[in-house]
Amino acid sequence: MRSTERDDGHNSVLGRAVALLSAFHQDDEYVSLSELARRAGLPKPTAHRLSGQLIDLGMLETGSHGLRLGLRVFELGQLVPRQRGLRDAARPHLENLYRTFGETVHLAVLQGADVVYLDKLTSRITPVAPSRIGGRMPAHATALGKALLAHADPQVRDAVLASPLERRTPRTIVMRGLLARELGRVRTEGIAREYEESAPGLVCVAHPVRDDSGRVIAAVSVSGRINRLRVDRVAPALRTAALTLARRYRSH
């Protein structure tokens, strides 16, 4: 008697397809099929069959070096209403911060234990930040993530504190007690800071953005060289940007 697939998780066709698409990493361009199958935890024949279907749908593209995410994935991402509205509302404020400081600015939201970058304006004088629009970073290793985690639901925060914390650099906070105290400080002061915790030579300052109920829905940040960016100068401008962004977003 032939077994039937359960319609959840990796046991559904949709779940396997999502696992395959999610197996791409931030810095990937092309990835071999065998490597994608390994990352997704799928048998190679299954990955091969699914990749063919995803190529036909425009979700994947082929090249001489393997597979990469297709344009259709990008197009669908631009249709997500909440993120699109938030990004559009934030762009003038990000541009103002960029003009004021000449440094890299970000807009991000929290998803699980990661920050997801919705927008980024890159400065030529800032060290290369390990971020890209649509990419992820461990929340505990970024100022944006700290601003979001500090105001997240206690269950979300507790889950992050209870899990292994990835060390991105020698200065990344990986001790749960230290991170808990840092998040408490962020809640008290309103500003989150990061000193070479996501990348060497990089300092970042972030501020949360709240909706009309007071819930934190996003965060904005300014990043620069550790010997160049003045936190005391950036923090007031970030607060103003976050407050005016919240008002603009609510009016949409």
CA distance 230 to 214: 28
Distance from C-alpha of 121 to C-alpha of 86, rounded to nearest angstrom: 15
Give CATH 1.10.10.10 domain extents, the chain: 9-76
Give the mean pLDDT of 149-156: 94
Mean pLDDT of the chain: 86
pLDDT (tens digit, 9 = 90+) per residue, 67-99? 988 877 776 766 565 566 788 889 999 999 999
Pick the CATH number of 80-251 from 3.60.20.10, 1.10.1660.10, 3.30.450.40, 1.10.150.20: 3.30.450.40
Looking at domain 9-76, does it have CATH number 1.25.40.10?
A: no
**Model confidence, pTM:** 0.73
How far, in whole angstroms, is CA 76 from its chain's centroid?
A: 17
Among 9-13, 83-87, 105-109, 116-120, the range of highest mean pLDDT: 105-109
